[in-house]
Amino acid sequence: MEKELAKTYDPRNIEEKQYQKWVDKKYFHAEVDRSKKPFTIVIPPPNITGQLHMGHALDNTMQDILIRFKRMQGYNALWQPGTDHASIATEVKIIEQLKKEGIEKEDLGREGFLERAWKWKDEYGGRIISQLKKLGSSCDWDRERFTMDEGCSEAVNEVFIKLYKKGYIYKGSRIINWCPICQTSISDAEVEHEEQAGHFWHIKYPIAGEEGFVEIATTRPETMLGDTAVAVHPDDERYQHLIGKKVILPIVNKEIPIVADSYVDKEFGTGVVKITPAHDPNDFEVGKRHNLPEINIMNDDATINEFGGKYAGMDRYEARKLIVKELQELGLLVKIEDHVHNVGIHDRCKTTVEPLIKQQWFVRMDELIKPAIEAVKSGEIQFVPERFDKIYFNWAENIRDWCISRQLWWGHRIPAYYCDKCGEVVVTKSAPEACTKCGHTHLHQDEDTLDTWFSSALWPFSTLGWPEKTEDLDYFYPTDVLVTGYDIIFFWVLRMVFSGYEHMGQKPFSKVLIHGLVRDSQGRKMSKSLGNGIDPLEVIDKYGADALRFSLITGNAPGNDMRFYWERVEASRNFANKVWNASRFIMMNLEKATIGKTIDEKLLTIADKWILSKANTLVKEATENMESFELGIAVQKIYDFIWEEFCDWYIEMVKPRLYSETDETKAAALWTLKHVLVTSLQLLHPYMPFVTEEIYCTLQELSGDLGAESIMISKWPEFNDSYSYTEEAEAVELIKEAVKGIRNVRNEMNVPPSRKATVIVVSENASIRNIFTDSKVFFATLGYASEVFVQADKTGISEDAVSTVIPGAVIYIPFADLVDIEKEIERLQKEKIRLEGELKRVNGMLANPNFINKAPESKLAEERAKLEKYTDMMKQVTERLEHLSK
């Protein structure tokens, strides 16, 4: 490390070098240490198919800020990293790669395909991790986990078997989300809802054995092939007489019952709904209540199956068109209404998801969910911001049994074995030698794999060694904070919570810090289709990771979306430059002097005490904000202090002392500069780790007395009562008011900074006079003063002196000091001649009858306005000339 900073700040020369140093020195690594209090964050594991996007950048920057902050506070901080195997996303990637080679997935067989999958994972799976490192993420990479590594796989099997034995896992037929393209069930988390223009088809269902019909409306006419009832509300007087009767299902020509069920909304539509238990989750529940048959009319590829009669083999949408046409021909189609509604699509392949009934593995949720609800109600787990607990409760209290099986090869295979002879199901970690029921030795394993969320639900404890009773698990669990976006509260957060209580007997984390989305500058969600996504790596390459991190947190509030602006990143880079240049200036002056670790308080001036007091207050407030997860508020305060108070005010205040060879307080100025610089760097470090580390280590090389070789293992600043210099702080704020007033006056008069002027401070208050007398040296510099006089009255002050008022005092500046009177008279005389010419021209036009009669009203108004303006200007010029001539 050099003993001086380079002339210009270049993140490219710093970031990679510093990051490698941190890794080599194991600064990110945490071991069990009972003498320290642990602080743990588990990373939301990115998919191995993933590439860093702005959401990742925000999420991981927030985690890194918290972990660096806590590490510096003295906690044994562990940020547990890892990646998710992402069943569907990864399988899709590998299938795409195979297709380029002319190979079908089935050609390889399961074992061959998995071999290729692991090879793909080894080749590409670490890409996002290397990108997170570029961002500055201080994860404990020695502990990196993968949801399909040996330990996590062991945890998955343990949980499956345990829940199966307790009766919480079962195999049965229920409604699931089915993707006809990927040919697998998918979780609710993988279903995106988008508004689509569709229709309501109103259809007559004739009443069996009598005249008349009921009218139903549906958005999916093809599912009527699987209708097993129609339903009305039990209190709907319009249909009381029909309950228990039957209707004839059109096209299929079979009788189905009319049932009464409070699920039906009397006010919506006709008040009659078709019930298709095999193709709608609500209908499924109605069907259970009324013991209705469940008829699945679709194949896995969303074509109509044999239950569809003449429509068998047709695509669902093709069948829809022909069914509507047949209904029309039968006179049973009442009308077609345009209808915009939310349609579920698979987030991977964008295919419309089909809700249908299938034999799958499920987790029974009614009991498992109870501790998860109670934990948030009691405050044992808290959402930040609190408003998100309402969404959590809404999801938790209306949860359905969780479909956990997937028709994929990449993932954790379900540990269930079927006897080829008697069909007995044996759930066990490894293949049993014989059937436990009939003793037959031929069994085959279930073909399905588990939902990716099943393994990530165990993440907070599986990553720490569970099901083994490891020391890591005992020490680092439960974790402290989970940082995640509001879009996966229901899916991931909820599942981790109930899994923690079920398998560990306690919460997985104490706080859930929710952040919003990063949108583009127009407020739109970033997406491939809009082409408005911004690659964080591109930003890092152009401006550095610190600038990206800082811009993502500036103005950020928990739970709120934010917009990305290139201008904000540039401003963040400029801030890094400001810190760099200020640090370089301070170090250049420190090189010329020897100062100790402490300073005699008697040598501190009011300026020193003011900045020490300001920095002390900042430490207290920023720390409180960060403890409350108000990261955006904290960083704004740090920014304002460094840029304005420290750089723009204090450094300018102390320059006269630094440049003086005789000033006895020079050492105090240098000590204060160094102390406040180190404090500022430490507060800024979690947000801008690279530039702060480079400056800190250079300063450490120069002085050798900072107490730690790296800023990231230095001690977080603490509030110190001895630096609460309230009186001095108020005094300097008064001087700042005076300086601002002087600068405003000079700006209004266009006086260049190079022109110095006498400044006279008049105050009847002796204490105020003392403040300005003691601060003459720096007050003169900041106020562009050639001399500073402090007095009790206006004696000797000329009448033409300009003034500015501050609390308890008036500041005067002789007019002649600000303006060269002879030159000003000459300038004003020229201006008078110009105005006389303008007034002569305007008056001449307005006195000309031809102009008055012919000119449009707008032109007349324009000339009258000019006359008024020039008259007013002439009055001011004349008055100024008279005044100056005296």
CATH of the domain at 310: 3.90.740.10
Q: Which residue, of 818, 834, 867, is where some domain finishes?
A: 818
251 Rama class: left (phi>0) / alpha (psi -120 to 50) / beta: left
Question: Is the Cβ–Cβ distance between 650 and 611 less than 8 Å?
Answer: yes
Residue 450 CB coordination number (10 Å): 22
For the chain, the average pLDDT equals 92
Same domain, 630 and 764: no
Sorted by sequence, the CB contacts under 8 Å of residue 194 that are 6+ apart come out as 342, 343, 345
- What is the band of 2 on the pLDDT scale with cuts at 50, 70, 90? low
Q: Which amino acid is at 569?
A: V
Same domain, 770 and 701: no
Q: Per the domain annotation, does 318 fall within a domain?
A: yes
Rounded-to-integer distance, Cα 403 and Cα 843, Å: 89
Same domain, 706 and 778: no
Same domain, 200 and 333: yes
Distances (CA, A) of 445 to 362, 409, 455: 17, 13, 19
pTM of the predicted model as reported, rounded to 2 decimal places: 0.87
Same domain, 205 and 296: yes
Rounded-to-integer distance, Cα 415 and Cα 431, Å: 8
Q: Per the domain annotation, does 511 fall within a domain?
A: no
Structure tokens at 226: 């699987």
Q: Which residue, of 356, 381, 407, is where some domain finishes?
A: 356
Residue 31: closest CA among 65, 92, 76: 76
DSSP string, 12-28: GGTHHHHHHHHHHTTTT
Mind listing the pLDDT tens digit for each residue in 266-279?
A: 888 889 999 999 99
Same domain, 689 and 755: no
Mind listing the pLDDT tens digit for each residue in 61-99?
A: 999 999 999 999 999 999 999 999 999 889 988 999 999
pLDDT exceeds cutoff 50 at 531: yes
End-to-end CA distance of the chain: 66
Phi (first) and psi of residue 612, to 5 degrees: -65, -40
pLDDT exceeds cutoff 90 at 881: no
Sorted by sequence, the CB contacts under 8 Å of residue 668 that are 6+ apart come out as 599, 600, 603, 604, 605, 608
Residue 528 labelled as part of a binding site: yes
* Mean pLDDT calculated for residue range 849-865: 89
Rounded-to-integer distance, Cα 324 and Cα 319, Å: 9
Question: Is the Cβ–Cβ distance between 446 and 413 less than 8 Å?
Answer: yes
pLDDT exceeds cutoff 80 at 827: no
CATH code where residue 805 lies: 3.30.2320
What does DSSP assign to residue 710? Answer: S
pLDDT of residue 1: 47
Same domain, 699 and 683: yes
* Mean pLDDT calculated for residue range 101-116: 93
CATH code where residue 832 lies: 1.10.287
* Mean pLDDT calculated for residue range 280-304: 94
Sorted by sequence, the CB contacts under 8 Å of residue 822 that are 6+ apart come out as none
CB-based burial label for 862 (10 Å; 0-12, 13-18, 19+): exposed
Rounded-to-integer distance, Cα 88 and Cα 348, Å: 8
Q: Per the domain annotation, does 879 fall within a domain?
A: yes
Phi (first) and psi of residue 229, to 5 degrees: -175, 165
Sorted by sequence, the CB contacts under 8 Å of residue 182 that are 6+ apart come out as 88, 92, 346, 348, 349, 351
Structure tokens at 163: 């829940």
* E-assigned strand segments in 250-332: 254-260, 272-275
What is the number of structural domains in the chain? 4
CB-based burial label for 28 (10 Å; 0-12, 13-18, 19+): buried
Q: Per the domain annotation, does 145 fall within a domain?
A: no
Mind listing the pLDDT tens digit for each residue in 498-524?
A: 999 999 999 999 999 999 888 888 888
Coil vs helix vs strand at 570: helix
Mind listing the pLDDT tens digit for each residue in 448-504?
A: 999 999 999 999 999 999 999 999 999 999 999 999 998 776 778 999 999 999 999
Q: Which residue, of 720, 743, 762, is where some domain finishes?
A: 720
Structure tokens at 383: 């959402």
Question: Is the Cβ–Cβ distance between 242 and 229 less than 8 Å?
Answer: no
Taken in order 313, 319, 322, 326, the sign of the CA dihedral is positive
* Mean pLDDT calculated for residue range 418-425: 93
* Mean pLDDT calculated for residue range 388-413: 93
pLDDT of residue 748: 82
Mind listing the pLDDT tens digit for each residue in 230-262?
A: 999 999 999 999 999 999 999 999 999 999 999
Q: Which amino acid is at 638?
A: I
- What is the band of 821 on the pLDDT scale with cuts at 50, 70, 90? confident
Same domain, 688 and 610: yes
Residue 210: closest CA among 240, 255, 261, 251: 255
Rounded-to-integer distance, Cα 153 and Cα 399, Å: 26
Distances (CA, A) of 43 to 47, 82, 390: 12, 7, 24
DSSP string, 613-641: HHHHHHHHHHHHHHHTT-HHHHHHHHHHI
Mind listing the pLDDT tens digit for each residue in 755-810?
A: 999 999 999 999 999 999 999 989 999 999 999 999 999 998 988 788 888 989 99
Mind listing the pLDDT tens digit for each residue in 668-683?
A: 999 999 999 999 999 9
Q: Per the domain annotation, does 291 fall within a domain?
A: yes
Same domain, 776 and 695: no
Rounded-to-integer distance, Cα 773 and Cα 792, Å: 12
Counting residues of the chain whose pLDDT is more than 70, the rounded percentage is 99
Q: Which domain holds residue 243?
A: 184-356
pLDDT exceeds cutoff 90 at 26: yes
**What radius of gyration, in Å, describes the C-alpha atoms of the chain?**
38
Q: Per the domain annotation, does 493 fall within a domain?
A: no
Distances (CA, A) of 102 to 99, 697, 798: 5, 56, 95
Q: Per the domain annotation, does 85 fall within a domain?
A: no
Same domain, 830 and 810: no
Cα 828 to chain centroid distance, Å, stands at: 59
Same domain, 199 and 336: yes
DSSP string, 418-479: EETTT--EEE-SS--SS-TTT--S-EEE-S-EE-HHHHHTTHHHHTTTTTS--HHHHHH-S-
Q: Which amino acid is at 238?
A: R
Coil vs helix vs strand at 713: helix
Q: Per the domain annotation, does 470 fall within a domain?
A: no
CATH code where residue 607 lies: 1.10.730.10
CB-based burial label for 840 (10 Å; 0-12, 13-18, 19+): exposed
Counting residues of the chain whose pLDDT is more than 90, the rounded percentage is 74
CB-based burial label for 30 (10 Å; 0-12, 13-18, 19+): buried
Same domain, 782 and 659: no
Question: Is the Cβ–Cβ distance between 579 and 648 less than 8 Å?
Answer: no
